[in-house]
């Protein structure tokens, strides 16, 4: 039976078969796949346009750090041939233009209700429907919910006393004003030095009168070595696009990047330096961490990479005291998200850029005039917060999801963020968490992971239609085993040595657990493919008598 002839309860007029939450890259592709199923569906998006993270993070300097040719959908050969990326690392406006192009080309927009934030998603066991409620108080019922909300979309609010008292302009990189903001001649304080801070600081420095960077934890960042794509390279790449896509899927990261098999200390220092220099010059995300087999597994190996980067910082930054403050030492290289930048360390050679090391001189409060640290109050016209996200789980829990027996997802995950294959949570039937915890998610080229999840969900819906299943949810035992399998992979690596959003430690009260699956995109693909092939092992289906009869009537 094709999925569009699903049992009658799927097709009730006043309810949806599938509600998709979010119209970022995951939600858009989910819509595209659902269009082919005949199921009734609708997506709900809190913004007034598509693009998700690229809709919100419009700060100056925002761009991807996965090569544009790879950071794009692979589902349509026509799309990948016709779209022209202009740079190795596309800017946010170019990526958003791409998202809009995809929405138009595949007629996705008409399936989205924009400006609509979902604030409650509640399961009703009797009817086996979810009720989704919007911030405006409207509600819709749906058999299935696909939470395509992004792994990095719930912003972390800065918990700094006095924030509300600031009399100047307050900006957040993760929700930058849509029409931009003219910061020419302003005195700006920037709080946060992860990927967002590192991208925005050099661009702000070009326009502002003065930029003060408040740094609590220095990041390891390498130059992006961005460049304009030349036509011959693009043509050659596109001629072999399928091959490149297949190869990327066969790696650990979903990127065209292989981890070298030998340990760092198995080669001499000259060879190590040669490889690290190659990565520094190439500007490829993940290159240094893949230069040897044990960079995130062995502290001595790790130190060789870390020390190489520290040397580069000392080389670039003219003031030795500033260089020392910019050098990361407190955690191993690669255990927090490594950044790619354009002119970050150079920015600190400007007279109008200052660094405040918050480890030595912590913020006491924000005042109406600026920021007071232990040593001084500095006045600012503008404060820019690049303070990050409640990663991987926050975008799901803020939907107010209440499953079987009135249990809140937020409460379940406050103990342990379990999700079978990163996709389904026991006690939350018919709910799918795209790029959820214990999936490769933000450790991978997320476009690859998004397509993987959406394809898998679509096939599962087809399977349910074929078998007359009304509900599906994770078997608690399978969920527990997957969680432990994912946790075991991290044991013995260096990741737990760092406080990071990977470990949930940037959000007070979050359990200290490594959130993504680190076994690799390739191993993960094999696993979820096998699960499907074996009839969805680890998932529990509820096949109602009526749907059994409907399926039986068709001779199955
Ligand atoms: O966030 P982050 P992000 N006082 O969590 C600091 C993706 N991304 O938005 O670590 C002072 O990395 C915090 O300090 P600490 C990418 O996956 C990609 O920059 O808590 N400081 C840290 O320095 C990335 O990893 C691109 O000590 C405070 C910073 O804020 C992810 O998004 C571009 C503070 C937060 O860094 C998140 O990056 C941008 C406080 N109270 C983002 N609270 C690309 O290039 C927090 N901090 C594709």
Model pLDDT for residues 457-511, shown as the tens digit of each residue: 999 999 999 999 999 999 999 999 999 999 999 998 999 999 999 999 999 999 9
Which residues, including other chains, have CB under 8 Å from residue 387's CB and lie 6 or more apart? 155, 156, 157, 158, 172, 191, 192
Centre of ligand 1 to C-alpha 193, Å, is 6
Cα dihedral 287, 255, 454, 153, rounded to 10, equals: 30
Residue 544: its pLDDT value, please? 64
Q: Is 366 in the pocket of ligand 1 (CB under 6 A)?
A: no
In this structure, are residues 252 and 259 in contact, taking their beta carbons and an 8 Å threshold?
yes
Q: For residue 555, is pLDDT > 60? A: no
Model pLDDT for residues 312-339, shown as the tens digit of each residue: 999 999 999 999 999 999 999 999 999 9
In this structure, are residues 338 and 224 in contact, taking their beta carbons and an 8 Å threshold?
no
Per-residue pLDDT band at 543 (split at 50, 70, 90)? confident
In this structure, are residues 391 and 501 in contact, taking their beta carbons and an 8 Å threshold?
yes
Atom of ligand 1 nearest to the CA of 66: 48
Residue 10: its pLDDT value, please? 38
Centre of ligand 1 to C-alpha 539, Å, is 35
Residue nearest to atom 10 of ligand 1 (CA): 217
- What is the pLDDT of the chain when averaged over all its residues? 94
Q: Is 302 in the pocket of ligand 1 (CB under 6 A)?
A: no
Q: For residue 548, is pLDDT > 70? A: no
Residue nearest to atom 40 of ligand 1 (CA): 158
Residue 36: its pLDDT value, please? 87
Residue nearest to atom 9 of ligand 1 (CA): 388
Q: For residue 545, is pLDDT > 50? A: no
Q: Over range 231-258, report the average pLDDT.
A: 96
Q: For residue 1, is pLDDT > 60? A: no
Model pLDDT for residues 333-380, shown as the tens digit of each residue: 999 999 999 999 999 999 999 999 999 999 999 999 999 999 999 999
Q: Is the dihedral of CA 310, 313, 318, 323 positive or negative?
A: negative
Atom of ligand 1 nearest to the CA of 57: 39
Task: Give me the percent of the chain exceeding a pLDDT of 90.
Answer: 94
Residue nearest to atom 20 of ligand 1 (CA): 506
Q: For residue 551, is pLDDT > 60? A: no
Q: For residue 12, is pLDDT > 70? A: no
Q: Over range 235-244, report the average pLDDT.
A: 98
Q: Over range 54-62, report the average pLDDT.
A: 98
Model pLDDT for residues 175-229, shown as the tens digit of each residue: 999 999 999 999 999 999 999 999 999 999 999 999 999 999 999 999 999 999 9
Q: Over range 274-300, report the average pLDDT.
A: 97
Q: Is 14 in the pocket of ligand 1 (CB under 6 A)?
A: no
Q: Is 194 in the pocket of ligand 1 (CB under 6 A)?
A: yes
What would the DSSP string read from start to end of 39-103? --EEEE-SSSSS-THHHH---TT-B-SS-TTTSS--S-HHHHHH----BSS-BHHHHHHHHHHHH
What would the DSSP string read from start to end of 3-18? GGG--GGGG-TTEEEE
Residue nearest to atom 31 of ligand 1 (CA): 195
Residue nearest to atom 36 of ligand 1 (CA): 194
Centre of ligand 1 to C-alpha 387, Å, is 5
Cα dihedral 48, 51, 52, 58, rounded to 10, equals: -90
Please give the Cα distance from 259 to 3 (Å, whole number). Answer: 41
Which residues, including other chains, have CB under 8 Å from residue 367's CB and lie 6 or more apart? 162, 165, 166, 377
């Amino acid at each position: 039976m094709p999925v569009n002839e699903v049992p009658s309860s799927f097709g009730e007029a006043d309810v949806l078969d599938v509600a998709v939450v979010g119209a970022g890259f995951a939600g858009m592709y989910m819509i595209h796949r659902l269009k082919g199923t005949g199921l009734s569906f609708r997506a709900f998006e809190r913004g007034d346009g598509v693009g998700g993270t690229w809709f919100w993070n419009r700060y100056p300097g925002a761009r991807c750090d996965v090569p544009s040719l790879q950071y794009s959908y692979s589902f349509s050969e026509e799309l990948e041939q016709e779209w022209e990326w202009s740079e190795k690392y596309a800017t946010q406006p170019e990526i958003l233009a791409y998202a809009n192009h995809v929405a138009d080309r595949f007629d996705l927009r008409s399936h989205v209700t924009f400006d609509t934030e979902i604030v409650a998603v509640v399961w009703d066991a009797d009817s086996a429907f979810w009720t989704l409620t919007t911030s405006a108080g409207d509600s819709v019922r749906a058999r299935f919910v696909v939470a395509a909300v992004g792994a990095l979309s719930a912003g972390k609010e800065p918990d700094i006393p006095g924030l509300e008292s600031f009399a100047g302009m307050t900006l957040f990189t993760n929700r930058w004003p849509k029409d931009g903001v003219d910061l020419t001649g302003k005195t700006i304080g920037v709080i946060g030095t992860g990927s967002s801070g590192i991208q925005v600081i050099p661009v702000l420095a070009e326009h502002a009168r003065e930029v003060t960077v408040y740094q609590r934890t220095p990041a390891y960042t390498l130059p992006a070595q961005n460049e304009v794509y030349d036509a011959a390279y693009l043509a050659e790449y596109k001629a072999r696009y399928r091959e490149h896509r297949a190869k990327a899927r066969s790696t650990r990261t979903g990127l065209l990047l292989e981890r070298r098999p030998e340990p760092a200390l198995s080669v001499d220092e000259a060879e190590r330096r040669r490889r690290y220099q190659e990565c520094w010059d190439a500007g490829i995300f993940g290159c240094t961490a893949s230069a040897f087999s044990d960079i995130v597994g062995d502290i001595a190996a790790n130190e060789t990479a870390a020390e190489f980067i520290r040397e580069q910082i000392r080389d670039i930054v003219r003031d030795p005291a500033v260089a020392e403050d910019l050098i990361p030492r407190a955690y191993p290289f690669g255990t927090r998200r490594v950044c790619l930048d354009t002119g970050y360390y150079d920015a600190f050679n400007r007279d109008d850029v200052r660094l405040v090391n918050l480890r030595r001189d912590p913020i006491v409060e924000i005042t109406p005039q600026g920021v007071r640290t232990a040593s001084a109050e500095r006045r600012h016209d503008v404060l820019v917060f690049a303070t990050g996200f409640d990663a991987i789980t926050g975008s799901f829990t803020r939907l107010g999801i209440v499953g079987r027996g009135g249990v809140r997802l937020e409460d379940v995950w406050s103990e342990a963020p379990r999700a079978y294959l990163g996709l389904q949570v026991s006690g939350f039937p018919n709910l799918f968490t795209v790029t959820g915890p214990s999936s490769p998610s933000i450790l991978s080229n997320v476009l690859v992971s998004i397509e993987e999840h959406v394809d898998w969900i679509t096939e599962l819906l087809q399977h349910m239609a074929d078998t007359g299943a009304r509900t599906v949810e994770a078997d608690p035992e399978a969920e527990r085993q997957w969680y432990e399998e994912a946790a075991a992979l991290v044991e013995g690596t260096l990741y737990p040595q760092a406080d990071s959003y990977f470990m949930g430690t940037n959000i007070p009260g979050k359990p200290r657990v490594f959130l993504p699956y680190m076994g690799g995109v390739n191993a993960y693909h094999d696993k979820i493919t096998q699960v499907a092939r074996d009839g969805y092992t680890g998932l529990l289906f509820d096949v109602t008598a009526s749907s059994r009869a409907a399926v039986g009537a068709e001779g199955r």
